[in-house]
Chains A and B, each alone.
Chain A
Amino acid sequence: MKQSFRSITRTLAIALTATLAVTACGGGGAGNQGPEYTGDTFDWKRYDGQSIKVYVADTGQVESLRAGLAEFTDLTGITVEIEGSDVTSYRQNLPVRLTSRASDFDVMATFPEVDGLQFAKNGWYTDLGPYLTNPGMTNPEYDFEDFGAGIRKAMTVEEQTVTVLWEMQTDLVYYRKDLLEKAGLEVPTTFAEWDAAAAAVHDPGNRVYGFALRGIPYQTTTPFSSFLYAHCGEWVADGKAAINTPEALKAYEAYGQLGTKYGPPGIAGFDWPVPSQQFAQGNVFAFLDVNLFVKDLEDPTKSRVAGNVGYTTVPRADCDAAPFIGGWGYGINPFSEKGDAAWYFIQWATSKQMNLDLKLTGWPSPRASAWGSPEFKQADKTPEFTQVVLSSTETARARMNPPVTPGVEAREIAGLVANKGLEGQTGDALKRTADQQNDKLQGLLDAMR
């Protein structure tokens, strides 16, 4: 019995370490209420001597950011420490740190399209509006209007500007020019034409697959949003979950069919970078995804198809094409005690010059001035891509997920239908899945009220 008790105790001890994963201790937070300075003169040196910490998801910008930090410190006297982690870890750690009201970081990265409603509900955003309208806190040269109207909307949650984007994501289609030319086809503009083009070049025996897409449920909503809007669907219509409407089902069917008929094996398990990697390897004719891959795809050391990549806007179906627009931006931790210095960092990191510098390294900028600058125009090696991205922003919508909290769960719910489509579900079976998932989405909507 003694032996048993000891074993059981030991077992219990081991098992309970798992519980640590979801426990979070409460703690006091100072609470960032907005700008402290209310004068009308802007002074870069006002917070000279302070030090702040920037906590970001490392989506590739961190190195460029680090490279410019000395310049920021020279300009302001503020020293900066950057803590970057991969996107998945970041998404899991940030809410836990905010839950514990951690004040050990001042600037945070946020993707309002995913985090927005949940963060706003939990009081995890600082309203940047008062900073932007305070002439003493914002450099007169900052020019917030330089971010287009669609992009400014993507920075907003419940009427508050909660972040300033440092990048601009939108969907487009990448394709191989040589294969399209060989097939004797024009660049497709509808989903039906892409289906036909993919069929024409699909050659699995030679490891050339017609079309690739993301497969992991919660990640599919990003490209799937382009399918949904083009088929006249909505995530939520008249306050009701709408992912099982005839329009949404047509979109899911199109997503699943394009992937199952012409996708590489195992497409239902594709993580977000996999379609672009397969494309770079020369295994895929075309894929629809965000505009972040151009840099690697045009790099001959990383891509077998460099110089041979075509770009075009997302296709239309029953309705006009409407890619999403959004991206990662910087916000102020509401529990930070150095919100003002944090804002100085944000306006520097998203200034015209920093955006242009990032743009020149290949990152799609949210500022119009970066795209239109003579330096960029002269350095632009992919004008076709530039033209596609800029024209996409004209029809884009700032929504790639159901506007429901929690955002990740809503993505998972809606994305599972697309995933099942890629596993081969069609017709009634797909509708059953859509009905089931629609009920779950409705459950989340009801819980929000």
Chain B
Amino acid sequence: MLDVLDRYDRYILPAPALIVVVAMLAFPIGYTVYLSFHEWSGGLRPPEFVGLDNLTRSLGDSQFWGSIWRTVYFVTLSVGLQVVLGVGAALLFHQRFPGRGVARTLFMFPMIATPAAVALVWKMMFDPTIGILNYLVQSVGGPTLLWISDANLVIPALAIVDTWMWTPLVMLIVLAGLAALPQEPFEAAKVDGAGPVRTFVSVTLPLLSPVILVAALFRLIDAIKTFDIIKVITDGGPGTASETLNLYAFKQGLSYLHFGYGSMLLVWLTLLVFVVAIVFTRLRARTDQG
């Protein structure tokens, strides 16, 4: 008996943890996929098998396509901003200057805050009548902006909140990447007389790009799934102008009790995350090789 344990300990010892992990992953996947082929409102009657009905329904559902578009718009805008600002902040905080440690800590504050609390504060700041943002805009002669009540402004407004919260994460990752960069290429660039801009474009950026891609991937995955700030600030409004796929799936599943259709939308969401992850992983592999 002990012989068996000795021989297979590498399988036996982690088995309980492995079983838990597999159950935690496999059950939600399996049950969601199972439900996506059913219609069920949660009542006493069991889920009714409807085949591909939910899939075909989603393909013909303009609200679903609208939610995909809004997800892509929100993600592109917010992650784009976060990468640009995060890299900029990392370059800034990579320099030595008095008070750098304090500044770095302060910069990371938004990331630590609870998203729902952050959302409530921003909701007040967006208020067109008493919010501080309009006060600032108007104090420089700008118009009254309906930040979260204007269908054209609401996604950029939400992207600002997401950017405020998560730029520090990008900065942290890039900062770690900067610290790990080899010094020889920089010294060579210096010897060749390259200026700061040329050094950044020709040396820093190419060396950093795998790290930037990792940071972007983390943020992309998270941004696609963004829920709390949108739920609290706009609940998908005005109308459906900020209803992303995650929020639409939530509404279908938990507000309208269409568990089957909500599950199908979550399968789509998972696929979307999966595709983005594959694309970025390949991109990163190519950058590594290049």
Assess whether B277 is in contact with A12, with CB atoms less than 8 Å apart: yes
- Residues of the A chain whose Cβ atoms lie less than 8 Å from the Cβ of B277: 7-8, 11-12
What's the Cα separation between A240 and B198 when bound, in Å?
A: 70
Is A19 part of the binding interface, using a Cβ–Cβ cutoff of 8 Å? yes
- C-beta contact mask, A8-47 vs B, less than 8 Å → 1, else 0? 1001111111111111100000000000000000000000
What's the Cα separation between A99 and B222 when bound, in Å?
A: 29
- Residues of the A chain whose Cβ atoms lie less than 8 Å from the Cβ of B221: 11, 14-15
- Stretch among B10-18, B183-191, B255-263 lining the A interface: B255-263
Assess whether B235 is in contact with A23, with CB atoms less than 8 Å apart: no
Is B148 part of the binding interface, using a Cβ–Cβ cutoff of 8 Å? yes
**Smallest CB separation, B100 vs chain A (Å):** 32
Q: A269-B234, A406-B41 are in contact. Are A8 and B281 (CB under 8 A)?
A: yes
Assess whether B253 is in contact with A22, with CB atoms less than 8 Å apart: yes
Residue of A nearest to B265 (CB): A22
Apart from the given pairs A15-B270, A17-B28, 10 other A-B contacts in the complex at a CB distance below 8 Å: A4-B282, A11-B274, A92-B254, A118-B41, A215-B237, A265-B149, A267-B149, A269-B238, A281-B130, A419-B239
Residue of B nearest to A17 (CB): B28
Q: Return the contact of B41 from the options A3, A16, A121 (Cβ within 8 A).
A: A121
- C-beta contact mask, B211-251 vs A, less than 8 Å → 1, else 0? 00000010001101101000000110111100000100111
- Residues of the A chain whose Cβ atoms lie less than 8 Å from the Cβ of B235: 216
Q: A265-B146, A408-B255 are in contact. Are A13 and B25 (CB under 8 A)?
A: yes
Q: A14-B221, A215-B238 are in contact. Are A22 and B270 (CB under 8 A)?
A: no
- C-beta contact mask, B13-37 vs A, less than 8 Å → 1, else 0? 0000000000001011101100100
Assess whether A4 is in contact with B281, with CB atoms less than 8 Å apart: yes
**Smallest CB separation, A7 vs chain B (Å):** 5
Is B129 part of the binding interface, using a Cβ–Cβ cutoff of 8 Å? yes
Is A402 part of the binding interface, using a Cβ–Cβ cutoff of 8 Å? no
Interface positions of A from 136 to 154, Cβ below 8 Å from B? none
Assess whether B237 is in contact with A217, with CB atoms less than 8 Å apart: yes
- Residues of the A chain whose Cβ atoms lie less than 8 Å from the Cβ of B249: 18, 21-22
- Residues of the A chain whose Cβ atoms lie less than 8 Å from the Cβ of B237: 215-217, 268-269, 419
Residue of B nearest to A271 (CB): B235
Residue of A nearest to B34 (CB): A23
Q: A11-B221, A216-B235, A268-B238 are in contact. Are A21 and B250 (CB under 8 A)?
A: yes
Residues of A within 8 A of B (CB): 3-4, 7-8, 11-24, 91-92, 95-96, 98-99, 118, 121-124, 207, 215-217, 264-269, 278, 281, 283, 405-406, 408-409, 412, 416, 419-420, 423
Task: Name the 8 nearest CB pairs between A and B, nearest first.
Answer: A122-B43, A99-B42, A22-B253, A266-B149, A11-B277, A269-B149, A265-B128, A15-B273
Q: A22-B35, A216-B237, A406-B41 are in contact. Are A15 and B256 (CB under 8 A)?
A: no
Please list 8 pairs of residues, one from A and one from B, whose beta carbons are closer than 8 Å in the complex, sorted by A's number: A4-B282, A7-B277, A16-B270, A18-B269, A19-B29, A22-B32, A22-B262, A266-B149
Assess whether A21 is in contact with B25, with CB atoms less than 8 Å apart: no
Q: A13-B25, A16-B29 are in contact. Are A22 and B254 (CB under 8 A)?
A: yes
Q: Return the contact of A423 from the options B129, B217, B238, B270 (Cβ within 8 A).
A: B238
- Residues of the A chain whose Cβ atoms lie less than 8 Å from the Cβ of B146: 265-266, 269
Is B132 part of the binding interface, using a Cβ–Cβ cutoff of 8 Å? no
- Residues of the A chain whose Cβ atoms lie less than 8 Å from the Cβ of B284: 7
What's the Cα separation between A14 and B276 when bound, in Å?
A: 13
**Smallest CB separation, A401 vs chain B (Å):** 13
Assess whether B266 is in contact with A19, with CB atoms less than 8 Å apart: yes
- Residues of the A chain whose Cβ atoms lie less than 8 Å from the Cβ of B148: 266, 269
Is B144 part of the binding interface, using a Cβ–Cβ cutoff of 8 Å? yes
Is B151 part of the binding interface, using a Cβ–Cβ cutoff of 8 Å? yes
Q: Return the contact of B270 from the options A12, A96, A408 (Cβ within 8 A).
A: A12
Assess whether A264 is in contact with B129, with CB atoms less than 8 Å apart: yes
Assess whether B31 is in contact with A23, with CB atoms less than 8 Å apart: yes
Q: Return the contact of A18 from the options B31, B128, B225, B254 (Cβ within 8 A).
A: B225
Q: Return the contact of A19 from the options B28, B42, B255 (Cβ within 8 A).
A: B28
Residue of A nearest to B266 (CB): A19
Q: Return the contact of B239 from the options A8, A22, A99, A423 (Cβ within 8 A).
A: A423
What's the Cα separation between A17 and B266 when bound, in Å?
A: 10
Is B278 part of the binding interface, using a Cβ–Cβ cutoff of 8 Å? yes
- Residues of the B chain whose Cβ atoms lie less than 8 Å from the Cβ of A412: 251, 255-256
**Smallest CB separation, B78 vs chain A (Å):** 17
- Residues of the A chain whose Cβ atoms lie less than 8 Å from the Cβ of B274: 8, 11-12, 15
Is B44 part of the binding interface, using a Cβ–Cβ cutoff of 8 Å? yes
Residue of A nearest to B249 (CB): A22
**Smallest CB separation, A234 vs chain B (Å):** 23
Residue of A nearest to B224 (CB): A15
**Smallest CB separation, A306 vs chain B (Å):** 20
Assess whether A24 is in contact with B259, with CB atoms less than 8 Å apart: yes
Residue of B nearest to A10 (CB): B277
Q: Return the contact of B42 from the options A122, A216, A217 (Cβ within 8 A).
A: A122
- Residues of the B chain whose Cβ atoms lie less than 8 Å from the Cβ of A268: 149, 237-239
Assess whether A18 is in contact with B239, with CB atoms less than 8 Å apart: no
Is B285 part of the binding interface, using a Cβ–Cβ cutoff of 8 Å? yes
**Smallest CB separation, A285 vs chain B (Å):** 15
Q: Return the contact of B43 from the options A7, A21, A121, A266 (Cβ within 8 A).
A: A121
- Residues of the A chain whose Cβ atoms lie less than 8 Å from the Cβ of B259: 22, 24, 99
**Smallest CB separation, A371 vs chain B (Å):** 35
What's the Cα separation between A12 and B224 when bound, in Å?
A: 13
- Residues of the B chain whose Cβ atoms lie less than 8 Å from the Cβ of A17: 28
Q: Return the contact of A92 from the options B130, B255, B282 (Cβ within 8 A).
A: B255
What's the Cα separation between A118 and B35 when bound, in Å?
A: 19
Residue of B nearest to A93 (CB): B254
What's the Cα separation between A408 and B256 when bound, in Å?
A: 6
What's the Cα separation between A420 and B129 when bound, in Å?
A: 21
Residue of A nearest to B151 (CB): A423
What's the Cα separation between A3 and B35 when bound, in Å?
A: 32
